[in-house]
């Protein structure tokens, strides 16, 4: 068994499930745990300076955002083998932390090294006045209340937006929170509000039931102040990541054009931009049902449904890298053999810059990852090194043959 080869694949994120199990079982055996630790430490030391506080913060954040994924792995493993011996349960607990370390290394190598490599102090791209206009997105949103009043939300502005009856709307560092002070909602006039994130912005919202929603750039979410009916329903345009609070007797639903996503309690991502061909629902944890007037399908974790808006057709579920699709919530762009047109649409929304093709749209795929806080100069350099010709001119990102 060539453990060095397996370890190299492990660092590159190309291990199969069987190879990962072999590798981690070996490291779990007596005397090898410290070997894994030493290799991880050596890899980090070779590739980054963790003494840099800002870089260390990014590493810590990436590790934190892998936690729910590995918790799900652990839970699924225990559910599938309820009679597993205590020794094997220990293995899977150990697996969780080994895998988290693996994710940290892979994220560091594929993401943070991009950041270091393309640091503007070492980067030869000129910082033109046009470039300076198009920075990465920020945490900002516009809240439109039921009475039409609009409020610009910033995470550093802590304030009570509205207080009345048993409902408070609080804005702070963790985003907008709808707080219900009492379980007795009788007599509360239910109002529908809309949270919007223009291009170049994103925001987090916690609904009255405890459901958390991350709203991506160019999106809007219409939601009630209180969920006091038989179902909890919101309306989405654009892209959002949901962590739904579990309520068995009050299902949660996301209403989309000609489509509905229904859940009880789960983590999933929905992308439903009006100018894109497909509405995509991607499941990370739990279970969801996607329904149209003609069809209903159930998704399992790691699956995605696609509804073709032009053909009004709901396709069969596909197996996808769900955590890469939802990586934007953790502050990372992650692409895996993605059409260049899709990559550029995401960049256009996040950097709030129009994209213009001079000639045919390149029939290309793009794989790689970088932080969403990378500057536009850094992103253009990454695209150029991937043989995608581009420049900024007349306040547009020009792609040419």
> Residue 362: which CATH number?
3.55.50.30
Instruction: Mark which of 289, 307, 325 sits at the end of a domain.
Output: 325
Q: 301 and 190, same structural domain?
A: yes
Domains in the chain, number: 3
Domain membership of residue 127 (yes or no) is no
Please give the pLDDT value at position 371: 85
Which of 93, 94, 104 has the alpha carbon at shortest distance from 61? 104
The answer to whether residue 126 is domain-embedded is: no
125 within a domain of the structure (yes/no): no
Distance CA 231, CA 87 (A): 43
Read off the tokens for 103. Answer: 């994710």
Rounded to an integer, what distance in angstroms lies between the CA atom of residue 318 and that of residue 10? 25
- Residue among 212, 238, 216, 234 at smallest CA distance from 224: 234
Same domain, 291 and 355: no
Pair (257, 291) in one structural domain: yes
Residue 232 lies in a domain: yes
- Inside any domain, residue 123: no
Among 134, 208, 218, 129, CA closest to 167: 208
Are 189 and 257 in the same domain? yes
**Contact residues for 274 (Cβ-Cβ < 8 A; gap 6+):** 237, 257
Question: Is the domain of 84 the same as that of 199?
Answer: no
If asked whether residues 194 and 239 sit together in one domain, one would say yes
Sign of CA dihedral 267, 242, 203, 353: positive
Structure tokens at 204: 């987090």
Structure tokens at 265: 């309690």
**What backbone torsions phi and psi does residue 263 show, to the nearest 5 degrees?**
-145, 170
pLDDT 10s digit of each residue in the chain, 401 long?
A: 455 566 555 555 555 656 655 655 555 444 444 444 445 445 444 444 444 454 444 444 444 443 444 444 444 444 444 444 444 444 444 444 444 444 444 444 444 444 444 443 344 444 555 556 778 889 999 999 988 999 999 887 777 877 766 778 888 888 899 877 655 555 555 789 999 999 999 999 999 999 999 999 999 999 998 998 899 999 999 999 999 999 989 999 999 988 999 998 899 999 999 989 999 999 999 999 999 999 999 999 999 999 999 999 999 999 998 888 888 988 888 888 888 999 999 999 999 999 999 888 778 888 878 889 889 998 998 888 888 888 998 899 999 87
Please tell me the distance from the alpha carbon of residue 282 to that of residue 300, in angstroms, as a whole number: 9
Instruction: Tell which of 325, 357, 387 closes a domain.
Output: 325
Tell me the CA distances in angstroms from 44 to 94, 107, 363, one per residue in order: 20, 11, 36
46 and 63 fall within a common domain: yes
Does residue 58 sit within a domain? yes
Q: What DSSP string runs through 131-158?
A: HHH-PPPEE-EEEE-TTS-EEEE-TT--
Question: Is the pTM higher than 0.85?
Answer: no
Contacts of 227 (CB under 8 A, 6+ apart): 207, 208, 209, 250
Distance CA 118, CA 135 (A): 15
Q: What's the residue count for the chain? A: 401
Query: What CATH number corresponds to the domain at position 224?
Result: 2.60.120.1440
Task: Note whether residue 131 is domain-resident.
Answer: no
Which residues fall within 8 angstroms of residue 218, CB to CB, at 6 or more apart? Answer: 197, 198, 199, 238, 239, 273, 349
Clarify whether residues 14 and 72 are in a common domain: yes
Are 262 and 165 members of one domain? yes
Tokens representing 371 are 């932080």
Q: Where are the beta strands (DSSP E) in 40-191?
A: 138-139, 141-144, 150-153, 159-164, 167-172, 175-180
Which pLDDT score, from 0 to 100, does residue 356 have? 93
339 and 299 share a domain?
no
One domain, residues 152 and 258: yes
- The token duo for 360 is 């045919």
Q: Does 132 reside within a domain?
A: no
Question: CB-based contacts of 66: which residues, under 8 Å, 6+ apart?
Answer: 99, 100, 103, 104, 107
Cα distances from 166 to residues 82, 90, 102, 127, 190, in angstroms, run: 44, 46, 46, 51, 11
Full residue range of the structural domain in which residue 369 is found: 331-400
Shared-domain flag, residues 25 and 94: yes
């Amino acid at each position: 068994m060539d453990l060095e080869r397996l370890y190299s694949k492990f660092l590159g994120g190309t291990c199969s499930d069987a190879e990962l199990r072999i590798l981690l079982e070996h490291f779990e055996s007596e005397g090898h745990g410290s070997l894994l630790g030493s290799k991880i430490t050596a890899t980090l030391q070779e590739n980054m300076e963790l003494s840099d506080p800002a870089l260390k913060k990014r590493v810590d954040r990436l590790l934190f955002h892998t936690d729910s994924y590995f918790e799900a792995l652990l839970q699924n493993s225990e559910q599938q083998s309820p009679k597993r011996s205590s020794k094997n349960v220990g293995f899977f607990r150990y697996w969780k932390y080994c895998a988290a370390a693996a994710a940290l290394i892979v994220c560091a190598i594929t993401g943070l090294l991009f950041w270091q490599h393309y640091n503007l102090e070492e980067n030869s791209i000129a910082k033109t006045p046009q470039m300076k206009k198009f920075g990465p997105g920020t945490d900002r949103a516009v809240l439109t209340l039921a009475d039409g009043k609009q409020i610009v939300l910033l995470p550093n502005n802590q304030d009570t937006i509205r207080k009345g009856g048993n409902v408070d709307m609080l804005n702070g560092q963790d985003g907008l929170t709808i707080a219900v002070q009492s379980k007795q909602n009788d007599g509360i006039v239910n109002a529908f509000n809309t949270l919007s994130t223009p291009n170049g912005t994103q925001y987090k919202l916690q609904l009255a039931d405890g459901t958390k929603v991350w709203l991506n750039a160019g999106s809007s979410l219409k939601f009630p102040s209180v969920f006091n009916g038989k179902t909890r329903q919101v309306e989405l345009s654009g892209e959002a990541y949901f962590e739904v609070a579990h309520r068995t007797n009050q299902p949660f639903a996301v209403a989309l054009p000609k489509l509905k996503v229904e859940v009880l309690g789960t983590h999933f991502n929905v992308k439903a931009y009006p100018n894109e061909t497909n509405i995509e629902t991607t499941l990370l944890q739990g279970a969801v049902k996607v329904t149209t007037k003609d069809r209903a399908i159930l998704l399992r974790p790691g699956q995605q449904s696609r509804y073709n808006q032009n053909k009004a057709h709901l396709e069969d579920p596909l197996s996808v890298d769900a955590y890469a699709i939802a990586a934007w919530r953790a502050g990372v762009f992650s692409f895996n053999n993605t059409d260049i047109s899709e990559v550029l649409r995401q960049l256009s929304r996040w950097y709030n810059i129009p994209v213009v093709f001079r000639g045919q749209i390149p029939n290309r795929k793009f794989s790689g990852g970088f932080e969403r806080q990378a500057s536009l100069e850094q992103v253009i350099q990454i695209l150029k090194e991937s043989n995608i010709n581009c420049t900024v001119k007349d306040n547009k990102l020009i792609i040419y043959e």
